[in-house]
Structure 1
Amino acid sequence: MQKLSLDARVREHLERSAATSAGRSAETVYGGHEHALRQTLIALRAGATLAEHENPGEATLLVLRGRVRLHSGETSWEGRSGDLLIVPSARHSLEAIEDAAALLTVAKTS
């Protein structure tokens, strides 16, 4: 069994995101391309975005800190600390309304 502190990783990645020109930092904390399940910690500085992209499978976004907005087409959803957003199967993007960190969980579909 492995254990990690998401709080510590959030602090670390928020510091990293503040130091990059893109305003973001990420780390896969579980799984990866060789697994069906992948969990990735994403930190975004206020105003930073993840450009529109495809959804590789079923996915959720658990907001750990701050506020984000998930966009898909003409629809958007706002999430804040403690909110779980269901990522749409359509193309979507993510923006940080304020400094934010979230845990993205993806279960790949074949």
Structure 2
Amino acid sequence: MQKLSLDAEAREHLERAAAAPAGRSAATVYGGHEHTLRQTLLALTAGTVLAEHDNPGEATLLVLRGRVRLVSGDTSWDGRTGDLLVIPQARHSVEALEDAAVLLTVAKTA
């Protein structure tokens, strides 16, 4: 068994994001390319956008801190601390409305 403090990870990566020119920091906390399930902690400073990209499988975004906006086509969903957003099976982008840390969970489909 392995234990990880997402709160501590979020705090650390928010500090890294604040110091990074791109305004973001990320780390895989479980899984990886060789696994079906992958969980990645992402920290974004306010205004940082993850440009539109494809969804590699079933995915969710758990907002650990702050507020984010998930956009797919003409539809958007706002999430704040504690919210779970289901990422659509379509191209999408993510914007930090304020400094935010999220846990991205992806189960790759074939």
Instruction: Give the TM-score, by structure 2 length.
Output: 0.99
Which position in structure 2 is the counterpart of 1:28? Answer: 28
Which position in structure 1 is the counterpart of 2:78? Answer: 78
CA distance in 1, matches of 2:37, 2:4: 17
Which position in structure 1 is the counterpart of 2:68? Answer: 68
Which position in structure 1 is the counterpart of 2:11? Answer: 11
1:75 deviates by 0.6
Gaps in structure 1 of 5+ consecutive residues = none
CA distance in 1, matches of 2:109, 2:87: 14
Instruction: Give the TM-score, by structure 1 length.
Output: 0.99
Aligned-residue sequence identity (percent) comes to 79
Which position in structure 2 is the counterpart of 1:95? Answer: 95
CA distance in 1, matches of 2:19, 2:48: 12
1:16 aligned partner, one-letter code: R
1:21 deviates by 1.0
CA distance in 2, matches of 1:92, 1:28: 20
Q: Which runs of 4+ in 1 moved over 4 A?
A: none
